[in-house]
Structures are given as structure tokens and as C-alpha cells.
Structure 1
């Protein structure tokens, strides 16, 4: 239980306890404390914004919107509250109001660089309606500010791409990505070694007797590389009457670390995880997600990088269903490269890093296929968007789940979505993104050469 402070002025300490409870997967206790703080401090802007942040992390976007609206009501001139509300509204689907709020933040606080980037993602720029001149002016005014160069560079790249100015788009994108990458102490070789170590630890022999009880209702893991179509698949499946999406959870890796709390380094964690009490890990994961949903049917965990844990998932959760979404290597790599992620995915800011990571991912997925035959349902993004009904029927059939016509209209699913694809998945299924990388073929030639040398298919998701 989250301890309650002795005075109302102690809500900040209680909020700290809320965040600790969330990290430990004590979501019911965290919710109780959040409700107390909200009831007692609804006229405190900072408290309401803190609640909005916590609600967002819990996937409670409608309640997060309520808290952010309360903050803006208390402080109507606060650009911080306006920005927070706009960000929540993107998830809940109110793009018009989000656009208005981001524009207000930019007008009143033009050095809030993230607002420029976020606004650019909300709509397709047209010759009649775009922000190119304003972004260029802001970029000149910012001088050598690296934060501005990154945020405004991505914003310009997005709008130039919409306008069909592909060379200009890539110039700004490459410059912004290089600056972003230069500020990271990231080595892709470490991730490559980690994936190889995972394959060694979870060898074919170790996984040979993996239990399987998918006749029972269990979690559905939708995984793959970011920007590979995992959000679209999540929305399609979550449109089913018997399936609820919990969003991009961190609960499986957090449960793993919690059950291996005495391990301090990554290599030991990998080796320990292969030999640990897997039933205990599965129970801890299920305990955590139970506090996130009371839905009686299936629940989806859509964290893309759970592909790293497929062997562990199979051992710890015999009733889990695993859906791997794959997409053509060039389209998916370019989609990652052009995304300014809020956190994570440090390999996405360099074409060299992207190639190395994509090759290591392909090797690991090939290992999982060999070690766990028939354990995954695999979906090719290109086939899905070109023939959604057949692919969705096949997927549900392989998952052992009945057909639901609503799965063909994921854009009508009103539930919130908080990923980099939040705006795109509000539209009907389309194939306009297939082959987009060809617009940048000359610029992406080094990436294509590296992938080709590793026998990675450039156009389809097969690995």
C-alpha cells in the first residue's frame, strides 16, 4: 500500500511513492493514491499535471485528459498545461484541439522545441497549409542550439516529405539525426552482442520442451521492430470484442529484473534468466498486468522490443500468444530513422547503427523460428495492408480466436493509442507507406548495401 502523508502539503512525497508503486507493478495501490491526490489537490496545477503523467503511464489516457484539463483550468495561461493536454489529446484522438494547443504553445513559448515537432506530425502538410517558413525562421533564430536543431530539423523533414520535397526532407532529417546521435553514449555493438548472447542462452535444446497451453486465455504479445506495423496490428486485434490492448508495457522486462534483483550485469541476467524459475516469472508478470485491466478476455502487450524475450515468454507463459509483425527492411528502417522517439531506440539515429541492429534482429528472429517452431504467428505488413481481411482472418484463426468483423475497421476503434503511429492509425488501412523508401533510394544506398550483403530482403518482411 502507498503510504499517505500526514499533511496535504505532502502530495509531492505521495506522488513519489505512486511512481515507486508503479515501477513495482503495484497498480491498484498507485491508483488509490492518485485518486486521493486528485480529490484533495484538484486546484493545484502541478499536482494535476503529475497525475496526468502517471495516468498516461498507466494507459489511462481519458483520465489523464481530465487531469490535464483541470490543470489548464487552474492555470489558463500555462503553456506547460497546454502542452500536456495536447499530448494526451493526440492519444485520445482529438487532433484538432491538439493542433490548436500546440500552436498556442509555439506562439507563447516559441522555444518549446518539442511542440514544433509534435505539431508537424498531426497533419499532412500541403502547399496551402504548412509550417515550413515558420520552422525555418525558428531554426535561424535558434542559432547553434542543438535541441532546436534536432526538434526543428525533424519537423522540417516531416513537412518537406509531405510536400514531395524529398531531397530537402532528407537533408534536414540526416542533420538532425546526426546531432541527436552525437549526444548519445550508445554503442550498437553492445546490442548486437546481447542478441547473440540471448540466442546462445536460449538454445534449441533448452527450448525443446517448452510448455504450450494456448487453449486458455492468456496475454497476446504483439512484437517486432518499432515502426514495423505493430500499432496497426494492435489496433486491428483490439477492435475485437474479446480483446483489450494494454499498450506498450514494460512489465515483462521489469518483472524479469524484479525476479533477478541480485544480478547486476546484463550477461549474468541473460544466463540467469535461461535457468531461473520461469513459472515464478510468469506469475509475477501476470500479477503486474492484472492491475492494469479488469477485462475478462484477452489482453495485448504491444512493446515492440519484447522480441528479445520470446524464449522467456514461451517458458514463463505457456498460454501466451506471440504475434511477430515484420516489414520490409528498407521501409521499416527508414520509418525508424525519420522518427524522433521520446525515449528508447538509440540505434535509429544512424544508418550504420540501423543496419547492424536490423541484421542482429533478423538473426535472433531466425533463431526463435528454429528453436520454437509454430510458436509464433507472423504477419507481413505489406500483405496485411494490401489484403487486410484475409490476413486478419488467418491471424485470428492461428491465434484460436473467433472472427469479428470490427477488426476490419480499426480506424473506428475509439480507444486511445499512445505510440509514434498514433495519428496514422486513425485512418483506414492503406498501403501508401509501402515502398516509401524508394523516394530516398540514393540517400539510403549505404543502408541498402549493408542489408543486401547480409542477405536481408529489402522489400518484404521475411527474414
Structure 2
């Protein structure tokens, strides 16, 4: 006869499965309710609490996720994994000092955890009096050359050296980490370039000229652009408005597309099928994931929704779109020096970055010609940081909202953030990232040459 403990475990795992099933069926509210109920029953089960926390975080319930991870840590206070997961929850909530202390504890207990070193390095600007450069160098030496942990360790070292103004050493460490990361990926930038061309060919002027019956829900507000281009900053500015909420980065649009399109043999077939969908059903499926909190606008700041703007135009005809642009050298350098957990495999090689950026630029030029101007606003990062109030007012007006002064104090926005900019957006506006690539002009010369050869102006825009 199975033990009572085993029976309880089976019941809880079945409850977790049913919660996930509710989400797959589009009922996020039912999923959240089930997860919270299960968390209440599982206060003695640290592993299950961690599972629940990860799912709650993915659903944007970061405070609930932090409570679950804190309880799991209380049950296993000396476990580096539980410390690390709690630190991640604290970062999302902007509790950065607590997160740094938690990561200090992780590193003390598990010095080989490269991710902990990297995350800690990103939480604040390092100073001559307070940094971890010597410890990082020692840990790099102590870590086997072939270990995957060399990647985050070198990214952490590069970030701290840049903070200290040691730019040549910073780039050398960064390149070592990026090269190791790129060697571990089976990625061909040609595939992404070809896909973007297919998208432009499929969603042509003829597609936009046809009538499409979409979902008339006006809540969606898409903030798009390449990662590290300022999308999180705009998300925080708009999300500071009392009538706006942010859903952060979401796969909901891509998932709605795949569910409505059905099986496809590859990207080319999926692109072809995506032009003849039931766009109203697709829009309704996407909007089923929006919250019922009464916000007039709900931000989806997934950068690579740039691929789906034709679908947005047809399926969500009332949605607003904001596209962030940034000097291509600063944009590519910022991506190159960021260790992304998921996605963006083009960001670890300068040649890949140049080719991807050129394809992205061509696709955005295509959308610029075809998207309705009243729904599509483009903002330059450099203009935003130089003219914060004027550009912020333009963003709020584009969202169809009255101005609120809180939008100028985005650093006070308490909404959670799990992006690579999670620490930066807790600070007031700063301009120090504009033109930063010039510190690495010789190292980034191959990128500059590739962009110039394609006719791209890489000169820094004037900042008044």
C-alpha cells in the first residue's frame, strides 16, 4: 500500500498538472487560482514551492512567486539553488540589495555557480572600492577551461571591468565569453535573415489592402525593437501611468499564432499560413490572456514581436505599437555584452550581429511603409534620454491617455521586471550609454565596417 506521503505528492502533482492545463486552454485566471491554492497546501514541500514559484513568475505574479521561493528557502536555508532562485525573485521586485546579499551567499556556498557571479555583477555599477574583479579572475583560473561556467564568469568580469573604466581588458574578457557561447550554439544567422525576407514578402501591400476582421479589443500596446534598444525603459514610463499595466515579455502572440495556424513543416510554411488565418480568432485568443484589472492599455514588451506586426495589424486593429530605435553600433554592442538566458543567438558574434541588424532594419522599413501611422510610433532611444519629458508625453498621447506626472518618475514604478535591464530601470534617466561603443572603436571595427558597407549611418546622433 502506498504511503500517505506518496499519495499527497501524487495529489499535488495532479493539481499542478491541472493548473497547467487551464493555462494551455487560455484560462490564466484559473491557473493562477489553482497555483495559489496549491502553494497554500505545499508549505512543507520546498521542491513543489519552487515549481509553483517559477510558474507564478511566468504569469507575472512576482510577489506571490517571491513568497513561495522565500518559504522554500526557509525550509532549505543552506541550499545554493534555493538561495539563487530567491535572489531571482528579489531582482524582479527591485529588491536589489537583498538580491546581492543572497547571491553573495550563493557564491560563498557554490563558488562555481557562474550565473550567480554574472547576475550579481549586473545589479549595480561596480566601483574601485567595491567590486569583485580579483575574485572573478581567480574563479576563472580555477574553473576548467571547457566548463560552460566560463561563459557567465567572463561576462561578469567584462561588466565589472567596464564599470571600472578598464575598457580593453573588459572587451578581452567579453570576447572570450562570447566566443565560448557561440561555439556552443548550432545557429545560422542566414535562417533568420531568410525568415525576415519571407515575412516581408508575405505581408506585402496586397495583404494590407485586403479587409481583415480582427478582434476590436483596444487594450494591447506592443513595445518592440531589438533587445537593449530601450524597450524596457519605455515599458516603465508607460507602465507608470495609472491606466496602464505591463505584462512584460510574453510568448502569448507567438503561441496564439502557432495554435491558430496549426502544424507547419517549418518557418516558411508557417509564414505562408499566417497570412490566411482567422484573425479575429487569433486576436481573441491573444486577448484571453490579458488581465481583468481594468487597465485601458496592457503592454506587451516582447522585443521580437517585430516579426509579427503584420499579424498585429490584422488580428488586433485597435492595438497601438511603439518601435524603439537605437544607434546600430550602440545597439549591437549592448546586445553583444549581454548574456541572454534565452533567445537572441545572433548576439554572440559580431558578423552575426551585423547581418541580423541589417535584416531587422529592412523589415522595419517594410513595416514603416505599410502600418497605419495612427497606430505606429517610432522613438529614438537617444531622443528619449535627451528629451525625457517631451518624448514621454508623445508616448502617453500615442497610447490615447491623458498625461500623468508619474510617467517622469518611472524609476519609482513598483511593477516587477525580469529583463536584462531590471537593475537599470530602477534608476532615473541617464545618458551614459549613448555613444558608449566609441570606447571600443578598434575592437568593434569589423561590425562598423560591415554596417558602413551596407550604407548604414553609424554616426552618433547629437544629444542636446
| TM-score, shorter chain, exceeding 0.5 | yes
SS at 2:245 equivalent: strand
SS of aligned partner of 2:127: coil
**Aligned partners of 1:21, 1:438: CA distance in 2, in Å?**
50
CA shift at 1:397, angstroms? 2.1
Q: Is the 8 A contact 1:222 1:303 kept in 2?
A: yes
Which residue number in structure 1 is paired with residue 388 of structure 2?
Answer: 388
Distance 1:13 1:145, change over 3 A: farther
Structure 1 position 48 matched with structure 2 position 13: no
CA RMSD of aligned residues (A): 2.0
Corresponding residue for 1:443? 443
**2:190: which partner in 1?**
189
Alpha-carbon distance in 2 for matches of 1:262, 1:370: 31
- Which secondary structure does the structure 1 equivalent of 2:340 belong to? coil
In the aligned structure 2, how far is the partner of 1:148 from the partner of 1:311?
40
For the 8 Å contact 2:80–2:110, the answer to whether it is kept is: yes
Cα drift, residue 149 of structure 1: 1.2
Partner of 1:412: 412
- Please list the CA deviations of residues 316-338 of structure 1 after superposition, one character each: whole Å capped at 9, or x if unmatched: 00110011111110111100000
1:215–1:319 contact (8 Å) kept in structure 2: yes
Partner of 2:94: 93
User: Which ranges in structure 2 are unaligned for 5 or more consecutive residues?
Assistant: 1-5
Hey, what does 1:336 align to over in structure 2? 335
The CA distance in 2 between the partners of 1:215 and 1:224, in whole Å, is 24
User: Partners in 2 of 1:295 and 1:88 — Cα distance?
Assistant: 26
1:47-86 to structure 2, matched below 5 A, reads 47-86=48-87
Note the C-alpha offset of 1:302: 0.6
Counterpart position of 2:325: 326
Is the 8 Å Cα contact of residues 228 and 325 (structure 1) preserved in structure 2?
Answer: yes
In 2, distance between residues paired with 1:52 and 1:415? 17
Distance 1:164 1:211, change over 3 A: same
Instruction: Report Cα offsets for 1:251-274 as digits up to 9, x if no partner.
Output: 000000111223232111100111
- Counterpart of 2:3 in structure 1 is none
- 1:397 aligns with 397
Q: 1:210 to 1:434 in 2, by over 3 A?
A: farther
Q: Which runs of 5+ in 1 are unaligned?
A: none
Q: Hey, what's the Cα distance between the residues in 1 that align with 2:270 and 2:378?
A: 28
Deviations 1:374-424 (A, max 9, x none): 141111100000001111112222332211111111001111111000000
Q: Relative to 1, partners in 2 of residues 1:149 and 1:383: Cα closer, same or farther, differing over 3 Å?
A: same
Q: State TM-score, norm by structure 1.
A: 0.94
- 1:248 match: 249
Q: In 1, distance between residues paired with 2:217 and 2:50?
A: 40
Partner of 2:315: 316
Alignment of 1:2-401 (within 5 A): 7-209=8-210, 217-290=218-291, 293-374=292-373, 375-401=375-401
CA distance in 2, matches of 1:55, 1:459: 43
Q: How far did residue 24 of structure 1 move? A: 4.6
Cα displacement (A) at 1:458: 1.7
Q: Distance in 2 between matches of 1:15 and 1:101?
A: 28
Task: Give the conservation status (yes or no) of the 8 Å contact 1:215–1:400.
Answer: no
* C-alpha distance in 2 between matches for 1:190 and 1:289: 32
The two structures have a TM-score, normalised by structure 2, of: 0.94
Q: Shift of the alpha carbon at 1:241?
A: 0.9
Distance 2:452 2:404 in 1: 40
Closer, same or farther: CA 366–237 of 1 in aligned 2, 3 Å: same
| Contact kept? 1:244, 1:295, Cα under 8 Å | no
Deviation at 1:229, TM superposition (A): 0.1
Instruction: Check whether the contact 1:220–1:299 (CA below 8 A) recurs between aligned residues.
Output: yes
Per-residue CA deviation, residues 188-229 of structure 1 (Å, 9 max, x unaligned), is: 000000000000000011112466999973210000100000
Residue 289 of structure 1 and its aligned partner are, at CA, apart by: 2.5
Cα distance in 1 for residues equivalent to 2:263 and 2:455: 40
Could you tell me how far apart the structure 2 residues matched to 1:168 and 1:15 are? 48
Rate the CA distance shift 1:187–1:17 in 2: closer, same or farther, 3 A: farther
| SS of equivalent residue, structure 1 residue 299 | strand
DSSP 3-state at the match of 2:298: strand
Q: CA deviation at 1:77?
A: 1.3
Alpha carbons 1:21, 1:29 under 8 Å: kept: yes
Residues 324 and 376 of structure 1 are in contact (CA less than 8 Å); yes or no, is this contact kept in structure 2?
A: yes
Aligned pairs, number = 456
Q: CA shift at 1:430, angstroms?
A: 1.3
- Alpha-carbon distance, 1:360 to partner: 0.2
Q: 1:212 to 1:240 in 2, by over 3 A?
A: farther
